[in-house]
Amino acid sequence: MAEQRTLADPDVDGDKPDAVVVRDALGVGGAVGLSGFAFGVTSAGSGLTLVQTCVLSLLVFTGASQFALVGALAAGGSPFTAAAGAFFLGVRNAFYGLRLSEVLRLTRAVRPFAAQWVIDETTAVALAQPTRRSARIGFAVTGLSLYVLWNLTTLLGALGAEAIGDTDAWGLDAAGPAVFLALLAPMVKSATERAAAGLAVVLGLGLLPVLPAGVPVLVAALAAPVVLWARGRHVRGSVR
Amino acid sequence: MSTWIAIGLTVVGCYAVKLVGLLVPEGALERPLVRRLAALLPVALLAALTAQQTFGDGQALVLDARAAGVAAAALALVLRAPFLLVVAAAVVVTAGVRAMGG
């Protein structure tokens, strides 16, 4: 969600007071953590139980994947296509982990626990810090505050949705796509990204009436390799 | 039951990719093509999901109050509104349009 900056040389660009790092991290954790409310409402509105909704936030803890999963299940997708879409959205976290392991230098014993917090926001905060110490503080504070708030607001959202009944009447079915749009916006900068997004929209909407629920999204994901391949051909062609 | 299957698969899959990133030796995923694909895949998925959840109703394509709500969210994004305000704009406008019988 937030823009990523590259890590400056840890030895040079020195002192950033711990309090400032903590304040920045709490700002991100707080703002994004509160949107667990939208997830709780969306999930409960999609027909998942309170327990299922809370298990997703506790154990999956990567927002886009969670929204994608409940959206696909609500649309009548099979558990496998729904999980596949959520999984593909989570793949980017592997690449965050790759950068973070370089920056944080965690011990082997800590990594399985830190892994659950490897998401867009913790990565953005950690990589924006000038030193290893501040990166570790930023990662831990963002991770903890976001995890606690996200799960708390998920619970409240799910309880709220059950209490008010028809969530559509309150416009809450628009929360899911709005979250996706907010996640997508900072990622779409170059012509390649716009082309992939455009092709994915055409495939996703065009195939919706003809393929089983959940499958059109997976086919639309092919827009990524297709656009990369087309661009590769174009670049090679213009070099010759 | 099938919901629990989907949840179980997602829990395991999403945790595994997070852990893999922290555990693999540096350089293993550093091939430029792999990196670019990993960056572009979420763009395609999020774009398709946004479109489907705005215009999809089961297997049918529809134009309803959600479109107005998502348009409001887009406007909020252009105006650099914070995350929560973007989501709130979508919800409020969608509810408003429905209340007016849209």
Closest CA to A122 of A139, A105, A134: A139
Would residue A195 be called left, alpha or beta, if left means φ above 0 and alpha means ψ between -120 and 50 degrees? alpha
For chain B, 102 residues long, give each residue's pLDDT as a single digit of tens.
799 999 999 999 999 999 998 998 777 767 888 888 888 998 999 999 999 999 999 889 999 999 999 999 999 999 999 888 999 999 999 999 999 986
Burial annotation B88-101 (CB, 10 A radius, 16+ → b, else e)? bbbbebbbebbeee
Q: How many domains does chain B have?
A: 1
Contacts of residue A35 in chain B, CB cutoff 8 Å? 83-84, 87
Contacts of residue B41 in chain A, CB cutoff 8 Å? 88-89, 91-92, 221, 224
Please check whether residue B81 lies inside any domain of the structure: yes
* Beta carbons of A92 and B84 less than 8 Å apart: no
Please check whether residue B39 lies inside any domain of the structure: no
Collect all residues with Cβ–Cβ distance below 8 Å to A167 and sequence separation of at least 6. Answer: A41, A42, A44, A45, A161, A173
- Residue span of the structural domain in which B86 resides: 63-101
A169-227 pLDDT, tens digit per residue, is: 889 899 989 988 988 998 899 999 999 999 999 999 999 999 988 899 999 999 999 99
Please check whether residue B77 lies inside any domain of the structure: yes
- 3-state DSSP helix/strand/coil percent for chain B, to nearest 5? 75, 5, 20
Please give the mean pLDDT across all residues of chain A.
89
DSSP state letter for B24: S
Please check whether residue B12 lies inside any domain of the structure: no
Collect all residues with Cβ–Cβ distance below 8 Å to A94 and sequence separation of at least 6. Answer: B17, B18, B20, B21, B29, B38
Element (H, E) at A164: helix A132-164
Please check whether residue B29 lies inside any domain of the structure: no
Contacts of residue A114 in chain B, CB cutoff 8 Å? 22
Residues of chain B numbered 38-77 and touching chain A (CB < 8 Å): 38-56, 58-61, 65-66, 69-70, 73-74, 77
Residue with tokens 């590769």: A232
Which amino acid is located at A34 in the chain? L
- pTM for the predicted model, two decimal places: 0.84
Give SS3 for B57.
strand
Collect all residues with Cβ–Cβ distance below 8 Å to B59 and sequence separation of at least 6. Answer: A208, A209, A213
* Beta carbons of A115 and B15 less than 8 Å apart: yes
Q: Which residue among B10, B53, B89 sits closest to A87, beta carbon to beta carbon? A: B10
A96-145 pLDDT, tens digit per residue, is: 898 899 899 999 999 999 999 999 889 989 988 999 999 999 999 999 99
- Of chain A, the percentage scoring pLDDT greater than 90 comes to 66
Please check whether residue B79 lies inside any domain of the structure: yes
Q: Taking a C-beta distance cutoff of 8 angstroms, is the pair A121, A35 a contact?
A: no
**Residue B62 in tokens:** 């529809």
d(CA A6, CA A8): 6
Please check whether residue B40 lies inside any domain of the structure: no
**Residue A2 in tokens:** 């937030």
Crossing angle between the packed helical segments A63-74 and B2-23, to the nearest 10 degrees: 160
d(CA A139, CA A133): 10
Q: Which residue among A55, A79, A193 sits closest to B40, beta carbon to beta carbon? A: A193
Please check whether residue B41 lies inside any domain of the structure: no
